[in-house]
């Protein structure tokens, strides 16, 4: 498997998809999902030009972050427990999975202690799945209003993981729903920059559909690195 070739193929697909729906390719950031991947593969991906990586587990991420160049940006994309917020603030440039005020309060506390402005996304459970994290769509506005009072948190946008289906096309309505919610909340100026709201959605099997529906970040793992060991 040639990781550089995989990266080039995914980047070309992002470019082609964006242009086909009237968007600029640079509007879409590629987040390489590197959880459970060997360090050698991550180093290869860095050498091939990737600079944003997403990790799900704090201890695993800590070891990788220490071994990688400082210019690499790291996103936390796993479920975050409030008692792990301090570690996440120290390690990650962006925490994509904030879904309740309790976690946000801990992030604020730890970010204030170290003088950091912590960028986050709010995770929305668009599919209303009981087994998944995320605030339900109708409660998102209230959470964003609460977060506005936290001086060391910057809410850059929204993130979602739609219900899994065999047919990726059936995930399109969930992507549409997140984009509509983001637009509605941006009109109320509830983001750090409501003119440029980040929308993180889409993975290896459906990222082209997500781009068509407005994703500004796609989280791709298997298409870049192959199946996890």
Convert 51-63 to b/e letters by CB count within 10 Å (16 or more is b): ebbbbbebeebee
d(CA 211, CA 189): 23
Q: To which H or E segment does residue 125 belong?
A: none
Q: What are phi and psi for residue 123, nearest 5 degrees? A: -85, 125
- Cα 175–223–136 angle (5° rounding)? 25
pLDDT at 82: 94
Instruction: Give the total number of structural domains in the chain.
Output: 1
Would you write out the chain's pLDDT as a tens digit for each of its 229 residues?
699 999 999 999 999 999 999 999 999 999 999 999 999 999 999 999 999 999 999 999 999 999 898 899 999 999 999 999 999 999 999 999 999 999 999 999 999 999 999 999 999 999 999 899 999 999 999 999 999 999 999 999 999 999 999 999 999 999 999 999 999 999 999 999 999 999 999 999 999 999 999 999 999 999 999 877 6
14 found inside a domain: no
229 found inside a domain: no
152 found inside a domain: yes
Give the torsion through C-alpha atoms of 155, 99, 67, 25, to 10 deg. -50
25 found inside a domain: no
| Three-class SS state of 193 | coil
Domain that holds residue 89: 3-7+30-224
131 found inside a domain: yes
59 found inside a domain: yes
pLDDT at 30: 98
217 found inside a domain: yes
pLDDT at 140: 98
17 found inside a domain: no
Indicate whether this model's pTM tops 0.85: yes
pLDDT at 1: 63
Q: Quote the tokens at residue 37.
A: 């991947």
CATH number at residue 57: 3.20.20.10
């Amino acid at each position: 498997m040639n990781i550089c070739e995989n990266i080039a193929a995914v980047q070309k697909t992002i470019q082609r998809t964006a242009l086909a729906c009237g968007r600029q390719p640079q509007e879409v950031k590629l987040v390489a999902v590197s959880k459970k991947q060997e360090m050698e593969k991550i180093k290869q991906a860095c050498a091939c030009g990737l600079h944003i990586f997403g990790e799900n587990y704090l201890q695993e991420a800590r070891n990788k972050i220490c071994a990688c160049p400082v210019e690499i940006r790291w996103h936390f994309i796993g479920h975050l427990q409030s008692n792990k917020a301090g570690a996440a603030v120290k390690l990650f440039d962006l925490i994509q999975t904030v879904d309740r005020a309790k976690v946000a309060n801990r992030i604020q506390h730890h970010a204030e202690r170290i003088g950091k402005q912590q960028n986050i996304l709010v995770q929305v459970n668009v599919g209303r799945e009981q087994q998944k994290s995320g605030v339900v769509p109708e409660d998102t506005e209230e959470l964003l209003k609460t977060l506005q009072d936290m001086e060391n948190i910057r809410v850059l946008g929204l993130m979602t993981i739609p219900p899994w289906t065999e047919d990726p096309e059936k995930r399109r309505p969930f992507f549409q729903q997140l984009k509509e919610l983001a637009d509605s909340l941006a009109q109320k100026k509830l983001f750090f920059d409501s003119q440029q709201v980040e929308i993180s959605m889409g993975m290896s099997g459906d990222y082209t559909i997500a781009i068509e529906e407005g994703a500004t970040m796609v989280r791709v793992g298997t298409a870049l690195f192959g199946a996890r060991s």
